[in-house]
């Protein structure tokens, strides 16, 4: 399914497909089919009924428009889904119709469908994440010795290497992704609780059916239903938001390096990327811009989800029903930011000569710390600071050596630790 025009700057094609109407519908139908098979395996409903329900639980030919219209009236898509699926089963296998949705409740359908959709998102994001790490590792290695200005509060500071900067992006993405992976694993729980979360309608077979359902869907079976306990989903969404912000930090750095006054690096252009509708000379940081925009959306969406976690008793009135757009929005934002930064990292142009020129344009002022520390050994730090400051006022440059390679400290050691670290 193509990305809708209104979200063309907010979602990638693969994740738009995951959250398409047909995909969401099929996830709900997959729950109903798996529930029937699980119950048949546990002897709760006839095997023939499970076979018929499974055969007919497909989105092909399903009245999607009718479903969405009735969902608004019902307050959940699950109620009209069950009604329409039951009618479809009754038309072809009347004896099986009464066993559709046996013992389940509406939220069981919606929650498990959401978990199934999130499972589809995981490998899409993981694939792009691995591409990003590979590209950043390559950049870091290639530019281990490429010296550039350090910048603090947007002003020139002692030199760093571009390899160290790339390794820092790499490590932040790696750390953030570990939280995302943990969040996906923790959230991969089936939901089956029935009317009040006790599965009373299944008698003493509730846990057996729940475990069989989890096995059918390839999900974990939790200790108990989690209808009003949304902590697992919240942890995943928080991790995705942090990951997106880590990507956007990299995007912001590169966008600043692309400024005309710096011109030290540039994201790839061409094929309609980075142009201007009025200024033909421009090469805009478009991919970086989209990643930054994604990171600006996620805090509000996460806040909405966290606010909705305050849910009443055994079933929420409003909190749970508010979740789907926030979940979809955060996942799509992460996917788009990641796709954009993979494009940037794999095609980044780096200008070491310009980096050196910008460094030298400071006339050595960035080595003021080095001069101060050298003098401090003999006259004390405070007096040394004053002496160097005065020299800078009078001459515009501090005394002492100015070779940038000689004042990199532990930059290379840090670079290697960041690339190899397990943090």
What is the rounded CA–CA span in Å between residue 72 and residue 337? Answer: 32
- The answer to whether 265 and 351 are in contact (CB under 8 A) is yes
Catalytic site residue from 182, 185, 276, 363: 276
Dihedral angle of Cα 389, 392, 395, 396, to the nearest 10 degrees: -170
Q: What is the pLDDT of residue 113?
A: 98
- The answer to whether 140 and 163 are in contact (CB under 8 A) is yes
Is 16 marked active-site?
Answer: no
| Segment holding 151, helix H or strand E | strand 147-152
Report residue 109 as tokens: 């359908």
Query: pLDDT grade, residue 282 (50/70/90)?
Result: low
Catalytic site residue from 315, 354, 356, 397: 315
Q: pTM, whole model, 2 decimals? A: 0.94
Is 271 marked active-site?
Answer: no
Per-residue pLDDT tens digits for 194-235: 999 999 999 999 999 999 999 999 999 999 999 999 999 999
pLDDT of 262 strictly over 90: yes
Question: Domains of the chain, with CATH numbers?
Answer: 1-104 (1.10.275.10), 105-189+226-351+417-423 (1.20.200.10), 357-416 (no CATH)
Per-residue pLDDT tens digits for 144-173: 999 999 999 999 999 999 999 999 999 999
Per-residue pLDDT tens digits for 52-105: 999 999 999 999 999 999 999 999 999 999 999 999 999 999 999 999 999 999
Per-residue pLDDT tens digits for 26-46: 999 999 999 999 999 999 999
């Amino acid at each position: 399914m193509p990305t809708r025009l209104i979200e063309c700057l907010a979602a990638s094609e693969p994740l738009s497909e995951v959250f398409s109407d047909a995909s969401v519908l099929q996830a709900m139908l997959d729950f109903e089919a798996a529930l029937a098979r699980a119950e048949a395996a546990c002897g709760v409903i006839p095997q023939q009924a499970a076979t018929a329900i499974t055969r007919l639980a497909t989105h092909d030919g399903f009245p999607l428009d009718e479903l969405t219209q009735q969902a608004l009236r019902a307050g959940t898509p699950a109620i009209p889904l069950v009604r329409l699926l039951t009618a479809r089963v009754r038309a072809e296998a009347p004896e099986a119709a009464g066993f559709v949705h046996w013992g389940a409740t509406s939220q069981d359908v919606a929650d498990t469908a959401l978990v199934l959709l999130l499972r589809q998102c995981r490998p899409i994001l993981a694939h792009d994440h691995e591409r990003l790490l590979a590209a950043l590792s390559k950049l870091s290695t290639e530019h281990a010795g490429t010296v550039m200005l350090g910048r603090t509060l947007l002003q020139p500071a002692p030199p760093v290497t571009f390899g160290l900067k790339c390794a820092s992006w790499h490590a932040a993405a790696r750390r953030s992704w570990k939280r995302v992976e943990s969040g996906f694993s923790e959230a991969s729980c089936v939901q089956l609780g029935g009317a009040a979360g006790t599965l009373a309608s299944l008698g003493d077979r509730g846990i057996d059916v729940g475990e069989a359902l989890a096995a059918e869907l390839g999900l974990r079976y939790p200790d108990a239903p989690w209808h009003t306990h949304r902590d697992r989903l919240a942890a995943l969404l928080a991790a995705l938001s942090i990951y997106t912000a880590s990507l956007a930090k990299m995007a912001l750095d590169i966008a600043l390096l692309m400024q005309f006054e710096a011109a030290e690096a540039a994201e790839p252009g061409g094929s309609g990327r980075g142009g201007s509708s009025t200024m033909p000379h421009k090469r805009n940081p478009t991919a970086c811009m989209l990643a930054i925009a994604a990171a600006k959306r996620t805090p509000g969406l996460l806040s909405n989800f966290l606010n909705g976690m305050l849910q009443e008793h055994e079933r929420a009135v409003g909190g749970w029903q508010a979740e789907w757009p926030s979940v979809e929005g955060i996942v799509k934002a992460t996917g788009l930011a990641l796709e954009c930064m993979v494009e940037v990292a794999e095609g980044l142009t780096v200008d070491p000569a310009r980096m050196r020129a910008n460094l030298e344009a400071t006339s050595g002022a960035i080595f003021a710390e080095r001069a101060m520390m050298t003098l401090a050994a003999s006259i004390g730090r405070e007096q040394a600071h004053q002496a160097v400051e005065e020299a800078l006022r009078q001459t515009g440059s501090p005394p002492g050596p100015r070779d940038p390679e000689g004042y990199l400290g532990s930059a290379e050691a840090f670079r290697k630790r960041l690339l190899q670290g397990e943090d």
